[in-house]
Amino acid sequence: MSSQPPHPPRPKSAEATKQAILAAARKRFLEESYESVGLRDISRDVGVDVALVSRYFGSKEGLFRDVVRGTRKKDILPPDLPAEEIAGYLAKLFLAEGDDANENVERLLIILRSASSPAASQVVSEALRNDVLIPFAQSIGGKSPEVRASTSMAVWMGMTIMRTVMAVKPVCERSPEIEARLRALFETALSETNR
């Protein structure tokens, strides 16, 4: 889509092409599972030989690890968000256009896509725990935060599957009704009462 015709001559900077490979790999892993993405696909996207990938990242698993970690920056929630607005914020974030997509949102999709690939499962579940669940649990506070954080992420993942992976039409629209439903789900997931 981006560069089927011969590639523009790339400046010979190791760091630059490494980043280019990383970006191409991220785009691929965002759309397919770990094993269905070939190193040759990625290198072709960048316009570079396959060998470079193994050279710069050691192995396919190493590349995937770097992709998943990404720039390991900010938390999921803005630091000053009051507790009762978390659900609404998550619902809005979930439906935000891909253009200004949060990096954590993409990370979650990558994690989801390769979750059942044995070679990637360790990387993936560690990243989910360390980079998502634990920080998120810390920022929500309250009673049994791990359970509530995990449950919220379950809702997130499940809705992502239905929309992005399976393309189930009824929940694919970006309507106020869907947003309200999402918010309600997150509220339930975050609720501190056991009912």
Partner DNA sequence: ATGCAGTGTCAACACCTGTAGACATAGTGT
Partner DNA sequence: ACACTATGTCTACAGGTGTTGACACTGCAT
Within a 10 A sphere around the Cβ of 168, how many other Cβ atoms? 12
CA angle 124, 125, 126 (to 5 degrees): 90
Q: How far is the CB of 14 from its own copies (least distance, A)?
A: 32
- Which of 17, 54, 139, 191 binds its own copies (CB under 8 A)? It is 191
With contacts defined by CB under 7 A, name the span among 33-41, 89-97, 129-137, 178-186 that binds DNA. 33-41
Cβ contact 67:110 at 8 Å = yes
Tokens representing 127 are 């990243």
**Residue 139 touches its own copies, criterion: CB under 8 A:** no
Q: Which of 3, 14, 74, 175 binds DNA (CB under 7 A)?
A: 14
**Which amino acid, residue 124?**
V
Question: Residue 26 corresponds to which tokens in the numbers above?
Answer: 């991220």
Specify the residue, 53 or 90, whose C-beta has the smaller distance to DNA. 53
Number of C-beta neighbours around residue 172 at 10 A:
13
Q: Using an 8 Å Cβ cutoff, are 66 and 107 in contact?
A: no
32 binds its own copies (CB under 8 A): yes
In angstroms, give the least distance from the CB of 50 to DNA. Answer: 4
Count interface residues toward its own copies (CB under 8 A): 53
What residues from 54 to 83 belong to the interface with DNA (CB under 7 A)? 54-55, 58-61
- 8 Å CB contact between 67 and 22: yes
Site for its own copies in 115-134 (CB under 8 A): 115-119, 121, 124-125, 128-129, 133
